[in-house]
Structure formats: C-alpha cells, structure tokens
Amino acid sequence: MCVASPDENRLVSTLFDANSYNRHVRPVIDHRKPVVVDVRLSLVEIVGLNEATGRLTLKLHLILVRSALR
C-alpha cells in the first residue's frame, strides 16, 4: 500500500491518464540507448509487525537518480 496526498494523486492521474499516456514511448533523446537509474532505498523506521499475519509495516525513503545526459 502506498499513501499519497490528494495533490500527488491528482498529478499521477493527470500524467498517466489512459486517454493520453502512451506507455510505449520513452521521453529520451536516443531511444536506442538505455536510461541508467540509480535506485536507493533507506529504511527510516519499522512501524509495526503483525506476527499473526506476517505483515511488516515500514517507513522508507526511495530515491531514484537518473544518470546525466551525454
């Protein structure tokens, strides 16, 4: 589950509207070159653990960094 503010939800809905978003197009200069993305995940807090269901709730920071264009 991911929690977002109403503004974030509206932005995602606008950007990825099924009528206007083409998932087969990448916004890059040269589509033949890969886009290198550094993915970092930091554990901020263990919020809770439900031993009966095995559900672990975490607070995380996710950082995605795209390499510079050349």
Please give the sequence-ordered ranges of beta strands (E in DSSP) within the chain, or none if there are none: 37-50, 55-66
pLDDT tier at 1, thresholds 50, 70, 90: low
Q: What is the pLDDT of residues 5-24, one digit of tens each?
A: 888 888 888 887 778 777 77
- Using left for φ > 0, alpha for ψ between -120 and 50, and beta otherwise, residue 40 falls in beta
Q: What is the pLDDT of residues 37-60, one digit of tens each?
A: 899 999 999 999 999 999 999 999
pTM of the model: 0.48
